[in-house]
A and B are shown apart, each in its own frame.
Chain A
Amino acid sequence: MKIFGAEQERTLSSLYGAEAADVYSALLRSLSAVLEEEVAPLSLALDEGKEEISRPRRVLFDQGLCRLPHPAEFGGMDVPFGVYALAMELAGAADASTAMSLGIHNTVAEAVSRFGTPEQRKRLLPALLSGKKLAAFALTEPTSGSDARSMHTTAAREGRHYVIEGSKMFITNAGEADLYLIFAATGDGHGAFLVDGTNPGLKVGKALKEKLGMRASHTAEVRLAKCRVTEDSLLGKEGAGFEEAKQLLDSSRIVMGMICVGIARAAYADALAYAKGRDLFGKKLSDMQLTREKVANAAMETNASRLLCMHAARLKEVGKPYSSEAAQGKVLATESAARTCDAAIQLLGGYGYTSDDVHRHWRDARLLTIGEGASEVLRLLIASQELERER
């Protein structure tokens, strides 16, 4: 599968103009060569647990994927967020687990970049962008996912320290991460805390191995018991942690949507190749009208998802509100990716049902209608913002 092609080049050109698109196309073309040669060939083995995610993740850290949207003064590349989002589509097409691990990691880097003090940015960003440190984003709890505001984890001030108590659930990169961004209730709202992975008060639970998809990424519970951190571990303002989390999730939803666009493309490419070669009733499977309906739907939904996510990314770049558009893009991209992957299984028939190499795309996509904002909650968010606009 050609991971970066004319479709993405046209998207860049229409959004950024020909001159800038040339530069960004060169970046993404170069990235796609690495993804095709070094990451995509590992994807099946990653899903089957025969390869460790640290290998492809290291390749992409070394390439500079996580540097793209961040400030140059901290080792970033100052590239527009939409170009980074397109890069994550390509990463998703190569291997969804690796892309998600890096996407979550980079959400923490964005948190430090946006809400950190100059000292926190200087201390943490170079290590996060180069991949010297891996990060995890810990908001969800065993009893609060969609209703994150009602979190039970607390951070109590004790002199020049905070003591964090509680538990976080379904945490991507848990156990591997060097740095955890922990959200906790404080007296007057919520706070976001940067907790070192070696903190004796932070324990990682048993890895959740029986996942449907995204099997290569590490997922576990993170328990915090008398987890003592210095006051300069607070990221942003005390009391504003939940608002910060919401802003970070808006951004992350664009990335997760784009990863799903990549997953859908990978499944669609496999199915299309099969349909073109499979003979039945004296013609090719791709000549059947009902196959063509599936092909047309996949193309429409994949392109629409990419454009809606990129629209949200452009709004973010120019400083306009994009919360609803990011949610719309994420819902459309994740739900349509599941449909496209399902159609791919259907086209491949028995081979689709029995081969990890085909159904893993559906299994991977399936997570993202739940994680980073379940579709149901995002629809409520979209609707409330639409109703607000109509007042």
Chain B
Amino acid sequence: MNIVVLVKSAVDEAELKADQSGHPVLKGASMKMSAFDMNGVEEAVKLKEQNGGTVIVLTLGGAEAKKAIKEAMAMGGTKAVHVLAEAADAPDSLGTAYCLAQAIKRIGPVDLVVSSEGASDTYQGEVGAMVAEFLELPFIAYAKKVETDGVKVRCEQGIRGTVRVLEASLPAVVSVVSEANVPRYPTLLQVMVAGKKAIEDIPIASLKGSDYPDTGTVVFDVTVQSASRKGIIFDGTPDEAARKLAGALKQEGVL
């Protein structure tokens, strides 16, 4: 079966710094594959291993997105398609979903599209559903378990302690949550081989038809939220320290 997995190049949050005014320093910031997308790639590769076929890694972004593509390829992607959109041309979620859907149509017959629950930078969680809408395919969101027999896809969603089982006929679009799997670590040899694989580039302009949804989302401000820690160390024997900790938590109103 042919599986397309959607990945996004996102700012490496572990290295993200804020300037004096609390705004993120994005210029020169380190980029990587969005952490949640690793679960999407893992699920796609797992399904390929179970059912045979191909995993096509699809992304939209600037030149820096090549890094995320290679990371996904090292995990087991067979082919990569990059919708090239430099920052000035980068669309919002709706425009991104439209372009990705157009790219999927170009890729050819696809059985399953896998996305993650959201991006680790914006966490809007919209693109998977929007791609399904543009492709007029069934969509199952937030799957924690995905199975397919090549005819239909069966997913489990975890909702407040209960499990809801949903099925859809293929082709379909599925988004997976981070509980769905533990992403594999590619070996260094796989990383090296992935770095040499060809990536098909598609300029974004070539995908925009007359029905391109130009919603013109405006971002007014982005600020870094930081949680400060008190860093209190309770000394004494384990028993004494535990009592002090419990006392402090009561004082804070936590207990």
A contact residues vs B (CB 8 Å cutoff)? 2, 5-6, 9, 22-23, 26-27, 29-31, 33-34, 37-38, 62-65, 67-68, 77, 79, 277-278, 351
Contact = CB atoms under 8 A, between A and B. Distances in A.
Nearest to A75: B189
A366 B127 CA distance: 53
Looking at chain A's contact residues, the main secondary structure is helix
B83 to A, nearest CB: 20
Contacts of B30: 5-6, 9
Contact of A26 (B67, B185, B231, B233): B67
A66 to B, nearest CB: 10
A351 B235 CA distance: 11
B182 to A, nearest CB: 10
A191 B211 CA distance: 78
Contacts of A29: 32
A65 B188 contact: yes
B74 interface: yes
B155 to A, nearest CB: 27
22 contacts: A2-B14, A5-B15, A6-B30, A22-B67, A23-B192, A23-B195, A23-B196, A26-B67, A26-B70, A26-B195, A27-B188, A29-B32, A30-B74, A30-B186, A30-B191, A31-B188, A33-B185, A37-B185, A64-B188, A77-B189, A79-B192, A351-B233
Interface in B21-46: 30, 32
Interface of B: 14-15, 30, 32, 67, 70-71, 74, 185-189, 191-192, 194-196, 229, 231, 233
Contact of A77 (B67, B186, B188, B194): B188
A26 B15 contact: no
A9 B32 CA distance: 14
Contacts of A79: 192
Nearest to A38: B185
Nearest to A60: B188
A126 B32 CA distance: 33
A8 to B, nearest CB: 11
Contacts of A62: 187
Contacts of A63: 185, 187-188
B188 A6 contact: no
Nearest to B66: A22
Given A26-B67, A30-B186, A277 B191 contact: no
Given A5-B15, A64-B189, A68-B188, 6 more contacts: A23-B192, A26-B191, A27-B191, A67-B189, A77-B189, A278-B231
A30 B194 CA distance: 12
B226 to A, nearest CB: 13
A34 B194 CA distance: 18
Contacts of A64: 187-189
A67 B190 CA distance: 12
Contacts of A2: 14-15
B74 to A, nearest CB: 7
A332 B14 CA distance: 30
A49 to B, nearest CB: 21
Contacts of B196: 23
Question: Which residue among B74, B192, B194 has the maximum number of chain A CB atoms within 10 Å of its CB?
Answer: B192
A274 to B, nearest CB: 9
